[in-house]
Amino acid sequence: MTRVEQLEKEVEKLTPDELAAFRSWFAEFGDTVTAVGCRVSIEDQVASLAKLEDGWLDDTTKRYDTRRLEWVARLLGGVVAAFGLPTPYIYPAADGIVRAEWSAAVAEVIAKINLESSSVDLLVVRGVDSVTEESIHLGEVGGESKLGRVLADILTVGDAA
């Protein structure tokens, strides 16, 4: 008998109250396990943005500046490593902004990284009724740490906020 079959037999023996408690625990456990983020490294995602040519979306879209993309990779890599965050999904945006997105049990987070102004506009969606926005200027002292703290407060695995 496999371990899974053994577990199935044990679960079948649970009382209704125990089963409800187990379901609640397993839902939290599942959120913890699946909150790994993107499986493609930040460096590889940013490298794919660097390959985009002028006109990648339409006649108005321009290619990204390689130096600024390197800055984005260092920024996101540092914040993810320092604060133990999942790897974001990174996307290009037609307006020259880089989008980094995270999904967690409690919220969806979109970080619009403005390469020109070295700032981040965060959009945080919790459920259907709660949307918050915050701007962080990364050129200010402590800006990168502030970004990391805000993201960690929202995304920390197991956080019930």
Residue 25 included in any domain: no
Instruction: Provide the whole-model pTM.
Output: 0.73
Kindly report the average pLDDT of the chain as a whole number.
Answer: 86
Q: What residues make up the domain containing 102?
A: 35-155
- DSSP string of the chain? --HHHHHHHHHHT--HHHHHHHHHHHHHHHHHHHTTB-SS-HHHHHHHHHTPPTTSSSTT--PPPHHHHHHHHHHHHHHHHHHTPPBPEEEE-TTSPEEEEEE-SS-EEEEEEETTTTEEEEEEEETTTEEEEEEEETTSTTHHHHHHHHHHHHH-TT---
Model confidence pLDDT, tens digit, residues 114-136: 999 999 999 999 877 889 999 99
Q: What percent of the chain has pLDDT over 90?
A: 61
Q: Does a structural domain hold residue 80?
A: yes
According to the model, what pLDDT value does residue 73 have?
97
Do the domain assignments include residue 67?
yes
pLDDT digits (tens, 9 = 90+) for 27-81: 665 554 445 689 999 999 999 999 999 999 999 999 999 999 999 999 999 999 9
